[in-house]
Amino acid sequence: MDCRRRFGLLFWGGLLISLFPYISCLFNPVDNYLIDCGSSGNVSVGNRVFMADNLASNLLSTPEIISANTSSVPASSSNDSSLFETARIFTGTSKFTFPIKKTGRHWIRLYFYPFVFSSFNMSAANFSVSTQNFVLLRDLVIVKDPIVKEFSVDVKSDTLEVIFAPVNGSIAYVNAIEVVSVPDILIVDEATLLEPSGKFQGLTTLAYETVARVNVGGPKVAPDKDPLTRNWVSDGSFLVNKNSATSFSNIPAVKYSPEGAAPEIAPNVVYGTLMEMNSKDDPNSNFNVTWKFKVDPEFQYLVRFHFCDIVSKSLHQLYFNVYVDSWLVVRDLDLSVRLSNALGTPYYMDSVTGLIKNDILLVSIGPANLANVYPNAILNGLEIMKMSNSVGSLSGEDSVISFPGSTSSNKHVGVIIGVVIGAFVAAILVGVLFVLCRRKRKGMHHAPTKSWISISTAGGMSHTMGSKYSNGTITSAASNYGYRIPFATVQEATNNFDESWVIGIGGFGKVYKGVLNDGTKIAAKRGNPRSQQGLAEFQTEIEMLSQFRHRHLVSLIGYCDERNEMILIYEYMEQGTLKSHLYGSDFPSLSWKERLEVCIGAARGLHYLHTGYAKPVIHRDVKSANILLDENLMAKVADFGLSKTGPDLDQTHVSTAVKGSFGYLDPEYFRRQQLTEKSDVYSFGVVLFEVLCARPVIDPTLPREMVNLAEWAMKWQKKGQLDQIIDSTLVGKIRATSLRKFGETAEKCLADYGVDRPSMGDVLWNLEYALQLQEAIIEVDPEDNSTNMIGELSPQINNFSDIETGASATRFDVPGVDDLSGVSMSRVFSQLVKSEGR
């Protein structure tokens, strides 16, 4: 493995090397606790040594020290059976506290084998296991047979607690326990979401329980043969129809490449063996190969497919479909395309299911729907991981907060509950903060870099999608607006997609600048033709931008869907992103007045989205990279790929998978996956601080308390010393009253709960007010408490939004017309200031 090259690629992906200094080619876990509970001596398992229990006694707090042993462990083919010979029995809530040297993802592996010891019958033991943040097991009873339960959790604090709580009157026990660091590349943040189809973000913050880890078509792989000490089983017991597939093996053909999966993702014995659809004798074969797994209903699962084409003799021979239950994961998958035309390269794909309704999960592969392709399909490996639910549980609906009572004193429980609540709240805050640090490449997919128009990232899509959308809603929507632009025109405008005209690159594709025949400057965002994700966003963006015309929203000039292309053509924004004017480029620094005007413009754009149409539209990805500036530094909000229509009047939120950009993400949305306009308000609040401080919203190179801008700035704002952290070029140039108003506005936007945040209309008004204070249009009595002023004025603003959407009143209620000009808004606001402000 060429480490240097991998680093380079990751770096190119827009991530800082300093984020993951611990990735090494031979993974060596920083935290590595292996404890053989109840044992009086060290025990070797494969090449690992499990520590004697007494050496770990400082880690354990338990009401009674009970070590149990048995000589009756059933003979097993694995090497770990000696771990099951001893156990720790807990008669009350007990916990291990592991000091964590490096935060991040850790395995927690728990070994259980119930036996009878003295008066304790472990087969009847009924107990729960949890960490500070996640419920791992609830009301678990293991009747016989040794088992190992594997979890992986993201640890944010410098200790990890593993708490064992017997149900009332019962006992808990454990035979061995592992807490081991996991390299961060193992779980990337984003995956294809199967239902509703889209993108799932936030994987790095969840806990997982391994349901199945299968070396398809190959042998069992013992932990000492896996770089991350995982156990892989063979697929025989899961394969539904034994005759549907045959196994194949060619381990030497596996060539890891920086583009594909790393060796830590799965060892070569997984990638070098596979099951292949049994279609050799029949060129008309048309069936799926299906594996069946038992799962717990009411959870979502992360399904990871491992592929490596060691069967094809040449490129572009193998096309197949992949399904989970009845969901199509990918159609006409051509591995050689995903891996820049190489065979034998390991590749993996993550997908997240919807809530599973029954206790069976089916994974299928089947032939592609393409003509002139021999029907075939392969699968090399498969992992199914149960995902922690919205309350942080892998078992049951209750969060750790209502951890079940125990036989120990209630005081003890109280302490745990307290700790757990605190940790839970902290975890959510820290979670948002650290998620970025965990964002890594996923297969060959790179995070957007310095995109000029921020490009939404994309998964994979087939060739047939093109025809699908050209018959779909877009055509009708678009034909109403006449936006469709011939491919030849785009080609000409962009000098045939001249690489030197590229102004941005991202997962979606590239952005080219260009000039139309009539001299109009354009930016053409060209989607990757294989991106299914891209298609959804392409459609959303066209639909949104066709409906919304506003001088503070970037306008769509047209689109092109000829030849399976997905090209969006926007007005060219001469001055790039707001972000690039704040830091990280050589644009001259903006004055305070210019910054306020940009914020006001962007706020107007968002206010229009929220109120200018019958249903509020939630942008969902408000950030400084999505606020573009034209040649006059007028701000326009861009990138509607993630937008969602907001709740109907009788609902208060839209329930949806968490999307957006980290550092800007509303913690309430993150926690409850419920979307309201107030999520945009939160993100906008972060933008306001970014504008004031001119630094990235997440900067992992800074000392810990400074990493997250929102947190850091709020700290100073609460102390009333925001002036201490402002952009150095602004020092002495902002009037105190203007800064105070601005700080208060941002603070309100960042309120923990959406209901406490102002509407975009309020924000807009307050920013206008901050501008007027700066310009000294309004003189403020220093004693005047401007906080009160916001309070007094808010109702007016709220009424104002009612008027906007009301049937009779203004022009605001007519969508699709470029009517809500900044000028008219400004006038209304000025009037408000005159009537109310004085």
What number of H helices and E strands is found in the chain?
Answer: 17, 41
d(CA 414, CA 135): 17
Site for ligand NAG in 275-294 (CB under 6 A): 286-288
Token duo for residue 567: 């090209």
Measured from the CB atom, is 141 or 755 closer to ligand NAG? 141
d(CA 809, CA 700): 49
| Three-state SS letters, 360-407 | EEEEEEEECCCCCCCCCCEECEEEEEEECCCCCECCCCCCHHHCCCCC
Candidates 119-127, 263-271, 760-768, 802-810; binding stretch for ligand NAG (CB under 6 A):
119-127
Contact status: 326 vs ligand NAG (CB under 6 A): yes
Q: For the CB of residue 626, give the shortest distance to ligand NAG in the complex, in Å.
A: 37
Asked if residue 102 lies in contact with residue 130, where contact means CB atoms within 8 angstroms, the answer is no
d(CA 760, CA 779): 25
Site for ligand NAG in 22-41 (CB under 6 A): 40
Asked if residue 781 lies in contact with residue 772, where contact means CB atoms within 8 angstroms, the answer is no
Measured from the CB atom, is 353 or 611 closer to ligand NAG? 353
Q: For the CB of residue 220, give the shortest distance to ligand NAG in the complex, in Å.
A: 8
Measured from the CB atom, is 287 or 587 closer to ligand NAG? 287
Residues with catalytic annotation? 621
Q: Is 359 exposed, middle or buried (0-12, 13-18, 19+ CB in 10 A)?
A: exposed
Q: For the CB of residue 365, give the shortest distance to ligand NAG in the complex, in Å.
A: 9
Measured from the CB atom, is 85 or 184 closer to ligand NAG? 85
Contact status: 364 vs ligand NAG (CB under 6 A): yes
Q: For the CB of residue 432, give the shortest distance to ligand NAG in the complex, in Å.
A: 34
User: Using the rule CB under 6 A, which residue among 263, 366, 392, 646 binds ligand NAG?
Assistant: 366
Measured from the CB atom, is 121 or 471 closer to ligand NAG? 121
Candidates 16-24, 122-130, 501-509, 817-825; binding stretch for ligand NAG (CB under 6 A):
122-130
Measured from the CB atom, is 123 or 480 closer to ligand NAG? 123
Question: Percent helix, strand, coil in the chain (nearest 5)?
Answer: 30, 25, 45
Token duo for residue 326: 């009845």
Contact status: 42 vs ligand NAG (CB under 6 A): yes
Contact status: 81 vs ligand NAG (CB under 6 A): no
Measured from the CB atom, is 20 or 307 closer to ligand NAG? 307
Q: For the CB of residue 66, give the shortest distance to ligand NAG in the complex, in Å.
A: 9
d(CA 109, CA 182): 12
Contact status: 51 vs ligand NAG (CB under 6 A): yes
Measured from the CB atom, is 40 or 341 closer to ligand NAG? 40
User: Using the rule CB under 6 A, which residue among 57, 123, 409, 479 binds ligand NAG?
Assistant: 123
The length of the chain, given as a count of residues: 838
What's the Cα-to-Cα distance from 653 to each of 201, 281, 649, 660, rounded to whole Å?
19, 55, 10, 16
Q: For the CB of residue 121, give the shortest distance to ligand NAG in the complex, in Å.
A: 4
User: Using the rule CB under 6 A, which residue among 46, 74, 806, 816 binds ligand NAG?
Assistant: 46
Measured from the CB atom, is 273 or 805 closer to ligand NAG? 273
Site for ligand NAG in 212-271 (CB under 6 A): 222, 224
3-state secondary structure (DSSP) of residue 193 = strand
Q: Rounded to 5 degrees, what angle do the CA atoms 107, 89, 386 make?
A: 30
Q: Could you list the beta-strand ranges (E) of 406-531.
A: 502-506, 509-515, 521-527
Q: For the CB of residue 286, give the shortest distance to ligand NAG in the complex, in Å.
A: 5
With CA atoms as reference, report the closest residue to 438 among 259, 100, 263, 183.
183
Asked if residue 636 lies in contact with residue 628, where contact means CB atoms within 8 angstroms, the answer is yes
Per-residue x/- marks for ligand NAG, 97-116, CB under 6 A? -------------------x
Measured from the CB atom, is 79 or 247 closer to ligand NAG? 79
Q: For the CB of residue 324, give the shortest distance to ligand NAG in the complex, in Å.
A: 9
With CA atoms as reference, report the closest residue to 812 among 796, 823, 801.
801
Cβ neighbours of 731 (radius 10 Å): 10
Q: For the CB of residue 403, give the shortest distance to ligand NAG in the complex, in Å.
A: 12
Q: At what angle do helices 709-719 and 677-693 cross, to 10 degrees?
A: 80
Candidates 76-84, 335-343, 588-596, 827-835; binding stretch for ligand NAG (CB under 6 A):
76-84
Sign of CA dihedral 426, 429, 434, 435: positive
DSSP 26-92: S---SSEEEEETT-SS-EEETTEEEEEGGGGGGGEE-SS-EEEE-S-PPP-SSGGGGGGGEEEEESS
User: Using the rule CB under 6 A, which residue among 167, 228, 394, 544 binds ligand NAG?
Assistant: 167
Question: Annotation-wise, does 525 bind a ligand?
Answer: yes
Interface with ligand NAG (CB under 6 A), residue total: 32
Measured from the CB atom, is 117 or 134 closer to ligand NAG? 117
User: Using the rule CB under 6 A, which residue among 24, 69, 479, 824 binds ligand NAG?
Assistant: 69
Measured from the CB atom, is 42 or 729 closer to ligand NAG? 42
d(CA 451, CA 503): 7
Site for ligand NAG in 395-414 (CB under 6 A): 405
User: Using the rule CB under 6 A, which residue among 168, 390, 470, 655 binds ligand NAG?
Assistant: 168
What's the Cα-to-Cα distance from 452 to each of 353, 558, 567, rounded to whole Å?
33, 19, 16
Q: For the CB of residue 122, give the shortest distance to ligand NAG in the complex, in Å.
A: 8
User: Using the rule CB under 6 A, which residue among 21, 26, 72, 169 binds ligand NAG?
Assistant: 169
Site for ligand NAG in 657-676 (CB under 6 A): none
Token duo for residue 489: 């025109």
Q: For the CB of residue 413, give the shortest distance to ligand NAG in the complex, in Å.
A: 9
Token duo for residue 540: 């959303």
DSSP 427-438: HHHHHHHHHHHH
Contact status: 49 vs ligand NAG (CB under 6 A): yes
Buried b or exposed e, range 178-197, using 16+ CB within 10 angstroms: bbbbbbbbbbbbbbbbbeeb
Contact status: 18 vs ligand NAG (CB under 6 A): no
3-state secondary structure (DSSP) of residue 830 = helix
Candidates 74-82, 229-237, 377-385, 722-730; binding stretch for ligand NAG (CB under 6 A):
74-82
User: Using the rule CB under 6 A, which residue among 18, 58, 72, 77 binds ligand NAG?
Assistant: 77
Contact status: 774 vs ligand NAG (CB under 6 A): no
**Cβ neighbours for 357, distance < 8 A, ≥ 6 positions apart:** 297, 298
Contact status: 79 vs ligand NAG (CB under 6 A): yes
Q: Is 711 exposed, middle or buried (0-12, 13-18, 19+ CB in 10 A)?
A: middle
Contact status: 833 vs ligand NAG (CB under 6 A): no
Please report where in the chains the tokens 């990279």 appear, as a residue: 625
Site for ligand NAG in 124-163 (CB under 6 A): 124, 126, 139, 141
User: Using the rule CB under 6 A, which residue among 78, 97, 246, 475 binds ligand NAG?
Assistant: 78
Site for ligand NAG in 708-767 (CB under 6 A): none
Q: Is 782 exposed, middle or buried (0-12, 13-18, 19+ CB in 10 A)?
A: exposed
Contact status: 648 vs ligand NAG (CB under 6 A): no
d(CA 678, CA 681): 5
Q: What are the backbone angles phi and psi of residue 737, rounded to the nearest 5°?
A: -65, -40
Contact status: 197 vs ligand NAG (CB under 6 A): no
Q: For the CB of residue 130, give the shortest distance to ligand NAG in the complex, in Å.
A: 15
Binding site per annotation, positions: 525
Residues that bind ligand NAG (CB under 6 A): 40, 42, 46-47, 49, 51-52, 55, 69, 77-79, 116, 121, 123-124, 126, 139, 141, 167-169, 222, 224, 286-288, 323, 326, 364, 366, 405
Binding site per annotation, positions for ATP: 525
